Chains A and B, each alone.
Chain A
Amino acid sequence: MNISRKDFLKKSALGAGIAALSLSSAADASENSELATLIDLRKCIGCEACVYACQEANAHKYPEPAKPFPKMYPERVKVSDWSDKRDVTDRLTPYNWLYIQRTQVEHDGKTIEVCAPRRCMHCQEPPCAHLCPFGAAHKQANGATTIDPDICLGGAKCNAVCPWNIPQRQTGVGPYLDIAPSYMGNGVMYKCDRCVDRLDKGQLPACIEACPEGVQKIGPRDHIADEARRAAKEEGAYIYGLEENGGTNTIYVSAVPFEKMNNAIASGQGNPHMDKVASVMKKSNILASALIIAPFAGAAASLLRIGDKIKKYIGETRNETEKNT
């Protein structure tokens, strides 16, 4: 679909206005609440305004690797270098934290082209933040998960445990260069931080502000979830992200089922799927709860055992004393 510059600016202003209203209502609603974004795929035309706005707003965070890269040991450790492919916009890279995933889906006898802005889902229980060995990945109070490039060693564990394999690595940058660059670490992991710096200043994330169609909204998660449910109930829309991985702070609404979209997507590294995802952290959370109870249960069991032993011991001693007398 072609849109004129005038239309684009008009729609951008409208989109930003709607989004700004949602952000102010977000702030009013609750300061402690996690923020979530609603991405309405029925509105997305795939113009990539969000992609370029993201690149412009986050350019100062992009890696500037030192070359040549240190030789890696063992040799199977490969460098991940995207620094010469910064213009790639058809997948996630350390230089492209948001891209438009285009799919054609047959639904209700029609072929529908769906454009989905894809980036970090900002999980409510982010495995990347829970499992990062150095605390580089961290969930912010506002619900966004960020990676600190000053701490990350680029081991890519976050990528391995992420159900969508979102974080992407760039070699030749980060603190590993100052430790043991050939033997430990391999760069820094990068992904969408939902414009945490802009949000701190009271601004909207760049992708939301730039969208000419008002595809994205940001607000308290409860409100966003209610809106998604309402769209599903009243407009027959399909939802993705509400329940996935125990709930995410990026909720998609679509006119076509996500199963069909997922089947049409060529997913892989940098191209996240849209499959159903069970809660990755569920078992761990249960075990963490057990850890709270365990010492008390252990103390109680030990006290009972001591009580029994004392009883038995006094009984035996009394019997012996009686026998002797």
Chain B
Amino acid sequence: MKLKKIPDILYRFTLADFLFILAVFGLALGWIGHMPVFKRYYLADLPGMTWTGDYMLINEINLASASLAAFLIPQRIIKYYNEKHRTDGNHARVRLINILFAGFFAGVLMKIIATGMGLNIPRNVIFIIDMIYMTVSASFILGTPMIWLSGKIAVKVKDKAGIKKESGI
């Protein structure tokens, strides 16, 4: 029995993709919005953004997004391994973004477990977790657009040079 090539259904932009992107945005907002500087520097005063000044709402969005991301991560892992051959050119960048996301998500989970679940965790451990959360969140939120842009620039440069176009990230 000869096996058919894996169907293309997994390469389409699905509802799961949309929900995952939504969850990532929610987590990013959860990180930025949970700090008082968000309000201090007028971000919560932007038209249509006043709701982001509600710390409890931001916390709930962060938790809901974390739950949604945790639900979708197994599917993302499967999809990643299925699509690996499709992103040969950008594979290093995709992997880097995935690593940054894994770190970010681990930071989110640590933060929620440390301060959101009412556990008696020593204060110095909480402080270390907070610092890790800050670092990994900043790395992911700032790093991902840079990696994505570098991928786009690389594709354009290669196009100009007449090299075969790679698939985008």
Contact = CB atoms under 8 A, between A and B. Distances in A.
Interface of A: 74, 77, 125, 127, 129-135, 138-141, 148, 151, 153, 155-157, 160-161, 184, 280, 283-284, 287-288, 290-291, 294-295, 297-299, 301-303, 305-306, 309, 313, 316-318, 320-321
A135 B115 contact: yes
Given A155-B35, A156-B36, A294-B68, A161 B116 contact: no
A291 B112 contact: yes
Interface of B: 1-4, 7, 34-37, 40-42, 55-56, 59-60, 63-64, 66-68, 70-75, 78, 109, 112, 114-118, 120, 123, 126-127, 129-130
A132 B60 contact: no
Nearest to B78: A302
Contacts of B78: 302, 306
B104 to A, nearest CB: 15
A184 B37 contact: yes
Given A288-B116, A291-B63, A135 B35 contact: no
Contacts of A155: 35-37, 40
Given A280-B56, A302-B78, A313-B7, A295 B115 contact: no
A40 B74 CA distance: 55
Given A131-B34, A321-B2, A138 B71 contact: no
B71 A295 contact: yes
Contacts of B64: 287, 290
Contacts of B129: 135
Nearest to B69: A294
B112 A316 contact: no
Nearest to A146: B123
A151 B134 CA distance: 15
A156 B40 CA distance: 11
B59 A284 contact: yes
A288 B123 contact: no
Q: Which 7 A-B pairs have the closest CB atoms?
A: A155-B36, A287-B63, A135-B126, A294-B70, A298-B71, A302-B74, A294-B71
Nearest to B1: A321
B123 A298 contact: no
Contact of B67 (A127, A141, A287): A287
Contacts of B7: 309, 313
A156 B60 CA distance: 19
A317 B116 contact: no
B112 A288 contact: yes
A141 B72 contact: no
A288 to B, nearest CB: 5
Given A133-B130, A321-B2, A148 B75 contact: no
Contact of A302 (B59, B60, B75, B114): B75
Nearest to A305: B75
B127 A294 contact: no
A135 B59 contact: no
A298 B73 contact: yes
B35 to A, nearest CB: 5
29 contacts: A74-B41, A77-B40, A127-B56, A130-B116, A131-B56, A134-B127, A135-B115, A139-B120, A141-B120, A153-B36, A155-B35, A155-B40, A160-B55, A161-B56, A284-B56, A284-B59, A287-B60, A287-B63, A290-B64, A294-B67, A295-B74, A298-B70, A298-B71, A301-B74, A302-B74, A302-B75, A303-B74, A309-B7, A313-B4
